[in-house]
Chain A
């Protein structure tokens, strides 16, 4: 929260750019989700399976971990946040699958060594983005709004980020089951799909500049955040 304190953020979505900004910020893998996993949990239909293996459990675990990190953001510092979040992100996101979806049809044009290097870089950038963005806490909370099946083995968990000024941002998580766990494969924030945003950016860069340049850009961003551990 270093730049935009809650009151500045405050639902002032009246301007287009403002709205867009709000949405996007939340996106990019580093949402402004101030996951208050507890809030609203008691009343939610899925409260019961919060402990078990369910899409809701995955999201609640992610939210609770994020809140925890945000509350201790300053003591932890970037490196500390990265180390704490790494296992959480890896457990709650299907990063290898996401990396492949992000490149779309370009994935098949890479050799296996390139694929492997891309997945590694993508994984590190995702974690680094979370670690960099969740750098403070100002009373936000996540409300759990329920979950539903979405066909082809996928599930959607709806939640709302409630800001301290009362402004709301909708987060829909898309999950699928892999390795015996429900894992995130997309986050849709106020109707803007993170996966679609990423795919547009990555494939455009890949097409215009080629794979080495794409990888270089990713590494530059990771370094800009503070590195990978």
Chain B
């Protein structure tokens, strides 16, 4: 199996939710953030709620992707960049790095990102999970040697996925229009706001005045991209990569936030009446 199908196709791939902070790049200062920035985030989040009101979840791309022409341009740009730069670099990294080292790198960055997970646990009122994730951070940062190893998973403290986009979703905020962000990949208005908010508490993001910061981020990015190399093929092999990524993203986010399927009646639409004439043999 060549697993993963998807996201690899664009730089999107590298960007996991938490990887997106990259784009905020150099600007991110130390933990302090200007009042204006904070206010901006709040305003944006507020606007979102109203935006979300008009967004429908299921249905064709039309209502969910009003920015499609622009998104398609960004999608092409991301793919070009990914093919030219990220994929070769990630391949090189994969080829020269033994699997245990890559696993260690993945664990390390995941651990560094744990505060974002914990804060979002708490914002969603998931106190038990927040406790578990805090214990996980403590265990992996100590026994796990600064997060290089993941002994916590074996101790009943599994890794959870959380981000502020999910928090907003669980608060009832809809996704709003689908967005393809340059350098980042598939997103939507709600999740883009979430990425900005998460960056405010992400240690990797806020950890400035450390010369190691940019190197760390670069490794994090390459490591993540390498993990998704197998996905590239499936994206490219789909008959419609742009729509493949969009539908996959929106459905997957829906599932993460609400559980279940975006298609509540699993079995899908009422079947059209059978018609004769489709032979179908090969």
Contact = CB atoms under 8 A, between A and B. Distances in A.
A116 B279 contact: yes
Contact of B5 (A25, A116, A188, A202): A25
A32 B4 CA distance: 8
A21 B237 contact: no
B240 A201 contact: yes
A62 to B, nearest CB: 14
Interface in B238-282: 238-240, 243-244, 246-249, 251-256, 259-263, 265-272, 274-282
Interface string A27-40: 11011111000000
Nearest to A138: B1
Given A21-B6, A196-B268, A15 B19 contact: yes
A14 B280 contact: no
Interface stretch (B121-129, B134-142, B224-232): B224-232
A196 B2 contact: no
Most central of A10, A112, A123, A196 by chain B CB within 10 Å: A196
Interface string B2-27: 11111110001111111100000000
What's the dominant secondary structure at chain B's contact region? loop
B266 A186 contact: yes
A132 B233 CA distance: 11
Contact of B259 (A70, A129, A191): A191
* Tier of interface size on chain A: 35 or more
A75 interface: no
Nearest to A206: B240
Nearest to B160: A14
A60 interface: no
Contacts of A191: 251-252, 254-256, 259-262
A100 B269 CA distance: 11
A7 interface: yes
Interface string A182-195: 00011010111101
Interface string A106-131: 01100010011001100111000100
B197 interface: no
Contacts of B279: 116, 119-120
Most central of A9, A14, A185 by chain B CB within 10 Å: A14
A205 interface: yes
Interface stretch (B32-40, B44-52, B102-110, B200-208): B102-110
A70 B3 CA distance: 13
A23 B248 contact: yes
A122 to B, nearest CB: 9
A61 interface: no
Interface in A1-47: 1-5, 7-28, 30-34
B3 A25 contact: yes
Interface string A85-106: 0100000000111011100110
B268 A197 contact: no
A23 B159 CA distance: 17
Contacts of A202: 239-240
* Smallest CB-CB A-B distances: 6 pairs: A15-B16, A191-B255, A25-B5, A4-B230, A3-B230, A25-B4
Given A140-B1, A197-B251, A221-B239, 6 more contacts: A7-B103, A8-B227, A17-B186, A18-B7, A21-B3, A214-B239
Interface of B: 1-8, 12-19, 60-61, 99, 102-103, 106, 110, 113, 159, 161, 163, 185-186, 224, 226-231, 233-235, 237-240, 243-244, 246-249, 251-256, 259-263, 265-272, 274-282
